[in-house]
Amino acid sequence: QVQLVESGGELVQPGGSLRLSCVASGVIFSRYAMSWYRQAPGKQRELVATITSGSSTSYADSVKGRFTISRDNAKNTVYLQMNRLKPEDTAVYYCNARYGHYEGWGQGTQVTVSS
């Protein structure tokens, strides 16, 4: 069973940057497609970015050009570099791991963009 632990969320001013990390355990990490989702208050959870086992990436239109997803298989870690943050990026960010019918979620980390 995959276990995921996110970190890196905090309060940041508009225009600032943050890097989120998600460490996986209990699985062969390199086999998993890893994604970041986010959920703002009163809204549905939405897909932010995905990186496949082959390191292909995809992004939501709202974050293209500002966010970068990457992975380090040696450290069982996936990252989300977030630049030029906007107030509308405020949400709880969740890490997701998927391989076939196996799937796991982290507990989430809060990102707040506010002056």
Tens-place pLDDT, residues 50-73: 999 999 999 999 999 999 999 999
Region label for 18, one of left (φ > 0), alpha (ψ between -120 and 50) or beta (otherwise): beta
Closest CA to 113 of 9, 14, 8, 43: 14
* Band (1; pLDDT cuts 50, 70, 90): confident
* Band (115; pLDDT cuts 50, 70, 90): very high
The 3-state DSSP class for residue 107 equals: coil
In the predicted model, what is the mean pLDDT of the chain?
97
Task: Report how far residue 65's alpha carbon sits from residue 30's, in angstroms, rounded to the nearest whole number.
Answer: 25
> Among all chains, which residue has been given the structure tokens 């069982």?
76
